[in-house]
Amino acid sequence: MASSSDFQQDRHSFSGSPEKWNDFELPGDTLYYRFTSDMSNTEWGYKFTVTVGHLGRFQTGFEILKQMLSEERVIPHIPLAKIWEWQVGVACRQTGHQRLKAIHLLLKIVQCSAQGDCDFTLLKPLWQLFTHMENNLCHDVAKPGILLPLHRALAELFFVTENRVTELGSLQEYLLALNTEDHLHRCTAQ
């Protein structure tokens, strides 16, 4: 099975008992398959099931949310507060590209949110990750000016969010909620 007629792209080959077969995903909307028998037995052949866009898979959810958040006429009908809460949790739990995609969705939500749509204080765990990255960057003079994609994504998220809470008139509450009391004492002492 493959995603191209020449069986060169996304190729998956199986042979033998069903226990040797496993689930896989193919990009696109077309599946090419070929069955070749070695005539070693008289079984009827094989059976496989094709399911389009697995509901619950990260990429599918990401694409659906991204599209919904891009449609201005759809946004008023989306429960942004619940999606925000869920997406912050996803960004905290995921790693790698999935975390970057979750942060991308958070940015889109911040940009289209209205007063009270999102509890921006839920970003505290991501803020702690960001400040940890910032502190490590300041102490590591061997690698000047190099930011990891996650660091850049978080910097953009917090820049946009800070501008948004300023527009909404809740900057002080936001900053107090994200920082620990110890951090605030250190800043005051400085």
**Tokens standing for 56?**
């619950």
Confidence of residue 144 (pLDDT cuts 50, 70, 90): low
Give the model confidence (pLDDT) of 77-110 as tens digits: 989 999 999 999 999 988 888 899 999 999 999 9
Radius of gyration of the chain (CA): 24
Give the model's pLDDT for residue 59: 79
Q: What contacts 99, CB < 8 A, 6 or more positions away?
A: 91, 150
Residues for the chain: how many in total? Answer: 190
Q: What is the pLDDT of residues 60-74, one digit of tens each?
A: 788 888 999 999 999
What are the boundaries of each domain within the chain?
Answer: 56-179
- pTM to 2 decimal places: 0.65
